[in-house]
Chains A and B, each alone.
Chain A
C-alpha cells in the first residue's frame, strides 16, 4: 500500500480515539457512552491499519465494534436508563484515581525523556502482504498451546455463563 498523508491520519485518528474515549467516561447516558466507545474502537482499527497490521484492524472491527459492542448495547438497552442517570456516575475513589494518573504521568515523562529507547526497536518490518499469514503461523504454530488454553478458558466462561443464566438446564 502507498501510505498517503500518514501524519494527518495518525493525528486525526488519535484525536478521535481520545475525544471519544473521554466521552465514554463522561457521558451520563450509557448508550451514548457505548456509541462513543464504538468510535474509539473504530479509530483504533484505523491506527492498526496504519501500523501495517490489517488483520488486527479487521478483527478489531468484526469482533469489537461489530460483535462485542452489539452485546453491550443489547444489555444496556434492557437497563432502565432513567434510573442509571439518577445514580452517581463517579465513585469516590479519587485517591486511587490520583495515584493512577500520577503513575501514568510519570510513565509518559519517562517515555518522553528517554525517547524511543524505552521500547525495543523493531528491526524487521514485515511485508504487509504476509501479515495475515504470519499471524496464522504464530497462532497455530509457535503459540499453539497458549492459544488453545485461551480458547478453553473462553469455553469455561461460556459454560459458566450458561449455568448462571439458565435456572433449569
Chain B
C-alpha cells in the first residue's frame, strides 16, 4: 500500500524517475466519503488508485460511534432494549429479537409460542424491508434510479404494518424480554396476507427491471468475487456467504424463535460475485414471504408474554446468542454479574465484519466497482460503528 515513489523523497528528480512518473502516472489517493452519495452514510474509504484501478483501500469508520456497549453497562436490561434498534436501524426488529432472546436465554425463560410466531412474522417482514432498501440503494449506486422508488413504495406497506402493530415505523422496539408487549391488532393477519399477495408480483417486477438487464449483469457479474473459503476466513456471513456457495443460515443451523416449524429453503449462489448476491437476496425475499405466510396461517392462540419478574436480575454467567439478521450473523454476548445491569454486552455486528472484506473484494477492480461492492455488502453504518 505504501507508495515507493513517495517515500523516495522528491528532492532530486532524476530522469529515470521523471520518466517513471510520467508513463505510469502517479498513484492517486482518492478520499471517498464520509460525505459521498454512495458510501451509505458516513463510511470513509481511502482509495489508492492507478488510473481507475484500485490498488488498495482503507476504511475509516467510527463517525457514528455512540458507544452502545458502554451505554448498555449503565442501563438495566429492559432499558437497553430500545437502544439495540438504533444499531441496524434498517432492520431494527431483528436487532430487538436477538437481544430479547439472548436475555431470555440468560434468564433461562422462553417466550410463549404465540409470541414466537409474532416475532417470526415481524422479523421476516423486517428482512424483506431491509432487502428492499438494499435493492433500491444498490441499484441506485449502479446507476439505475427507478428500482429505488419501486422498493420504497413496497417497503412502505411493511412499515404501515409495523406502525399499526406498535406505533413506530423504523425503530420499532416491537419485542420485550419474555415475549411481546402488544397483542396483534384486529386484522393483523389479514393485513399480512394482503401484503404477501401484494408484494409477490412486485418482486417479479424488480427482477424484470434488473435480472436480465444487460448492463446490470455486466456491471455485477464477476465483480467483488469472494470464494466460500475466503468468506469463512473473513467471517463474512449472511447473504454474502450464501452467494459464495456456503449453505449456512442460522435459522436452520441453530434454529431460534419458531423457525424450526417452517418450511423454507436457503438460497445459495455459485460464483460469489455481486450478481449472485443480488440473486440470493431476491430469492431470500421470496423465502421470507413463504415463512410469513406459513406463520400467519399457523399462528397459535395463547399468551404473548412469559412470566418475567418485574426487575430482571439474571444469574451470574455469560451467554452468546446470535440470530440470522438480514445482513448476517448478529450476536449478543452478555455477561451478567447478577445485578439489574448487564456487566458487559458485546454486539457482534454483521456489517462491521462484512465490511472488512471490502479490501479483498475491490483490489484490482475499478472505482465504479467499489461503489457496487459497498452496495452489495449491504452495510449499515449505525451497526458498523455502533
Q: Which residue numbers of A lie inside 8 Å of B, CB to CB?
A: 78-80, 83, 165
Contacts and interface: CB of A to CB of B under 8 A. Distances in A.
A13 B26 CA distance: 39
B13 A78 contact: no
A99 B52 CA distance: 47
Contacts of B25: 78
B13 A83 contact: yes
Contacts of B22: 79
Contacts of B26: 78, 80
A80 B13 CA distance: 13
Contacts of B23: 165
Interface of B: 13, 21-23, 25-26
A80 B22 CA distance: 9
A78 B22 CA distance: 8
7 contacts: A78-B25, A78-B26, A79-B22, A80-B21, A80-B26, A83-B13, A165-B23
Nearest to A86: B13
Contacts of A79: 22
A5 to B, nearest CB: 46
A79 B22 CA distance: 7
Contacts of B21: 80
A123 to B, nearest CB: 50
Contacts of A83: 13
Nearest to A77: B25
Which residue, of A78, A79, A83, A165, has the highest number of chain B Cβ atoms within 10 A? Answer: A78
Which 7 residue pairs of A and B lie closest in terms of their CB atoms, listed nearest first? A78-B25, A79-B22, A80-B26, A83-B13, A78-B26, A165-B23, A80-B21
Nearest to A75: B22
A78 B13 CA distance: 17
B52 to A, nearest CB: 12
A77 to B, nearest CB: 10
A83 B13 CA distance: 10
B11 to A, nearest CB: 12
Contacts of B13: 83
Contacts of A165: 23
A83 B23 CA distance: 15
Nearest to B18: A83
B163 to A, nearest CB: 53
Contacts of A80: 21, 26
A83 B10 CA distance: 10
A165 B22 CA distance: 12
B28 to A, nearest CB: 9
A165 B25 CA distance: 12
